[in-house]
Structures are given as structure tokens and as C-alpha cells.
């Protein structure tokens, strides 16, 4: 055995200490399981100032949510944190071998991937700077705060552009659909948008111009290649996302697409024996409260499987 391999056989290694991983760690710690949690500090909502829609935690800064969770995990001494990235995972007999960024290797009976996803933002200047403050992807997360404000919708085609614009009429009636090039909308959708008085701007977008960059003053301009700029308070977009890590695919997990992995049962188990998945990395719906619930489900599934093995 490589001399950098830890002597300990962990019951569970969790990759990711967002809501899903932390929730699983709590349940497993309470089951007195030896748990090693890896995290490289890039939770999906790190740019957001407030987390919404989590019963009893509505409006809490996401970083505070995570630090409360870590504080409450402190008494569970069998839960240990390694604040670094996992770069490799392999099957070793019935177990898994994990390689951390610093080169050390670890062995575990069960592996839970709770590593989340990465959003792909439009590339133009301004999107990244305003992400989480005025640029959002999820109306359920930030629609209420943007209610009745002048909003832009960024997306192309019936589903990603037209559908999102129609959905947002729940929150605001002052909407402009910006397609950043040909809209690819069907006649049906064009008609439906017209009925809701939603104009379409098909010019290429050059940038989102922030009037006074820091602090953000509550509005920005969308600058187009041609035509007048458009002043807006917020923008919702619909673009792609990908897995934060390819560990699941490399271990042979069935992916339903680049966004997520297939889960075989209601305990978050994948088609790879001993490999579990929870949170945004597993499937829709992508919300903190759902990620936490999936983490708890996975933990109970893992503990049950370990109990079965131990009591054989």
C-alpha cells in the first residue's frame, strides 16, 4: 500500500460540504459513524447575499447557514473535515479509494458525492459581476425580491427564453426578453409573448453596464450592439450547468445528462454499489432545502447498508 494512504478505513467519505453534504454528515455523526468530509469552498450560492425559500432560514446569508451547520457538527467528534479538493476516486474491492489534492489517499466503505453543480453564465462583461445581486437564474430563489421591478429575461428559443419570460409574469409585468441574437422563437411563443406585452430584443448584447459599480445602486444598463441601451433592475437567465466534478462519471455512474446522475431508489443510491449522490449533483429540484433533505435521505440509506453489512 502507498505510504500516503491513511490507515483508517472510514465508514463514509462525503465529497462536498454544502447543504447536502453537511446534512448527511449530521445524520451520520448522530449514528456514530466515522465520517470524513472534503470541501474546496466553492458552494454554488457563494455569490448570493441571502438564501430564500428555506423554512425558518428565509433571508439568511448562505455563508452563515453553512457556518451554523459546521458549528452544530462540532460536538460529533467522529465527523472530520478536510478543507481541500478530492481529485480522484477508484473502486478498491468492495470499498473506494479517494485521492486528495495534497496527494494523500483515503479508504472508505461508502462514498457520498454531494459536490454540486457549476452554472455557465453568459460571457459578456457585467453578468459575473452582478450574479447574485441583480443577475439570477432562479425565480423561486430571487423572484420575490425583484417583484414589480423592470426585469430582463436572457435566453433563446421557446423554452429557455419564451418560457422563462412567461413564467416571470408572476413576479413582474415590466419584462423584456433579450435573446442576444436571433430569438429562435416559434410563432406560437411570439404570439403568447405579445399577448403578455413582452417585447423582444434580438440584438447582440455587448455588456451589462453598472452605473456605479461598487456599491451596486439597484439598476444597470444592457448595452446592445445596435439600438438604445435598456435600463433594468434585474435579469433572469436560463443557461446550462455542469457537474462540479466528474468523479461520478469516472466511477461508472449512469448520467442522465451532463447535469445529473441517475438515482436508483429513494435513498440516493446510484447504479454503482456503495456510491450515493445528493443535492444539486443528483437531479432537479435545485434548492438548498431539497439538497439538505437528499443529504439526510442518503445518510439513512448509507447507515442502513452499513448496518446490514455489520450485522451479517
Ligand X SMILES: Cc1cc2nc3c(=O)[nH]c(=O)nc-3n(C[C@H](O)[C@H](O)[C@H](O)COP(=O)(O)OP(=O)(O)OC[C@H]3O[C@@H](n4cnc5c(N)ncnc54)[C@H](O)[C@@H]3O)c2cc1C
Reading the block at residue 170, the C-alpha cell is 408572476
* Residue range at the interface with ligand X (CB under 6 A); choices 109-117, 192-200, 234-242, 250-258: 109-117
CB 15 within 8 A of CB 86: yes
Residue among 51, 112, 185, 230 that touches ligand X (CB under 6 A): 51
* Per CB under 6 A, 53 contacts ligand X: yes
Tell me how far apart the 2 most distant CA atoms of the chain are, in Å: 72
CB of 100 to ligand X, least distance (A): 8
Our CB check for ligand X shows the closer of 122 and 132 to be: 132
Q: Is the peptide bond before 15 cis (omega within 30 degrees of 0)?
A: no
Please list, residue by residue across 164-198, b when 16 or more beta carbons sit within 10 angstroms of its beta carbon and e when fewer do.
bbbebeebbeebbbbbbeebebeeebeebbeeeeb
Q: Of 19, 73, 200, 296, which one interacts with ligand X (CB under 6 A)?
A: 19
Residues 6+ apart with CB under 8 A from 159: 238
**Binding residues for ligand X, total number by CB under 6 A:** 41
Nearer to ligand X, 5 or 118 (CB): 118
From residue 126 to residue 155, the character string flagging contacts with ligand X as x (rule: CB under 6 A) and all else as - is -----xx-----x--x--------------
* 245 counts as binding ligand X under rule CB under 6 A: yes
Min CB(272)–ligand X separation in Å: 17
CB 224 within 8 A of CB 203: yes
CB of 94 vs ligand X, minimal distance in Å: 23
The yes or no reply on residue 16 touching ligand X (CB under 6 A) is yes
Q: 288-310 and 19-30 are packed helices; what angle lies between their axes, rounded to 10 degrees?
A: 40
Helices 19-30 and 62-73: crossing angle, nearest 10°? 20
Query: If you search the block for the grid coordinates 450485522, which residue do you land on?
Result: 311
Which of 33, 85, 160, 232 is in the footprint of ligand X by CB under 6 A? Answer: 85
State the minimum distance, in angstroms, from the CB of residue 281 to ligand X. 6
Contact residues: ligand X, CB under 6 A: 15-21, 38-45, 47-48, 51-54, 85-86, 114-116, 119, 131-132, 138, 141, 244-245, 279-281, 286-289, 291
Amino acid at each position: 500500500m502507498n505510504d500516503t494512504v491513511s490507515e483508517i478505513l472510514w465508514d463514509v467519505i462525503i465529497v462536498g460540504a454544502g447543504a447536502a453534504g453537511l446534512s448527511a454528515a449530521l445524520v451520520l455523526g448522530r449514528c456514530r459513524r466515522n465520517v470524513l468530509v472534503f470541501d474546496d469552498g466553492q458552494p454554488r450560492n457563494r455569490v448570493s447575499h441571502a438564501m430564500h425559500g428555506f423554512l425558518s432560514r428565509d433571508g439568511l446569508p448562505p455563508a452563515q447557514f453553512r457556518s451554523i451547520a459546521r458549528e452544530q457538527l462540532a460536538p460529533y467528534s467522529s465527523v472530520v473535515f478536510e478543507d481541500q479538493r478530492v481529485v480522484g476516486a477508484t473502486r478498491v474491492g468492495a470499498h473506494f479509494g479517494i485521492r486528495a489534492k495534497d496527494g494523500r489517499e483515503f479508504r472508505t466503505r461508502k462514498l457520498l458525492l454531494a459536490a454540486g453543480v457549476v452554472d455557465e453564465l453568459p460571457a459578456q462583461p457585467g453578468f459575473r459581476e452582478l450574479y447574485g445581486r441583480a443577475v439570477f437564474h432562479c425565480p423561486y430563489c430571487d423572484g420575490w425580491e425583484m417583484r414589480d421591478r423592470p426585469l430582463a429575461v436572457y435566453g433563446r428559443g421557446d423554452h429557455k427564453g419564451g418560457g422563462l419570460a412567461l413564467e416571470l409574469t408572476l413576479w413582474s409585468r415590466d419584462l423584456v426578453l433579450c435573446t442576444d441574437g436571433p430569438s429562435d422563437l416559434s410563432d406560437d411563443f411570439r404570439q403568447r409573448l405579445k399577448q403578455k406585452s413582452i417585447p423582444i430584443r434580438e440584438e447582440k448584447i455587448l455588456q451589462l453596464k453598472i452605473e456605479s459599480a461598487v456599491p451596486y445602486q439597484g439598476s444597470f444598463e444592457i448595452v446592445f450592439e445596435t439600438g438604445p441601451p435598456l435600463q433594468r433592475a434585474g435579469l433572469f437567465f436560463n443557461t446550462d450547468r455542469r457537474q462540479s466534478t466528474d468523479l461520478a462519471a469516472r466511477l461508472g455512474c449512469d448520467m442522465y445528462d451532463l447535469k445529473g446522475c441517475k438515482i436508483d431508489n429513494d435513498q440516493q443510491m446510484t447504479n454503482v454499489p456503495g456510491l450515493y449522490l445528493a443535492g444539486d449533483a443528483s437531479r432537479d429540484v435545485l434548492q438548498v432545502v431539497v439538497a439538505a433533505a437528499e443529504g439526510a435521505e442518503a445518510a439513512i440509506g448509507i447507515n442502513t447498508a452499513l448496518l446490514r453489512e455489520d450485522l451479517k
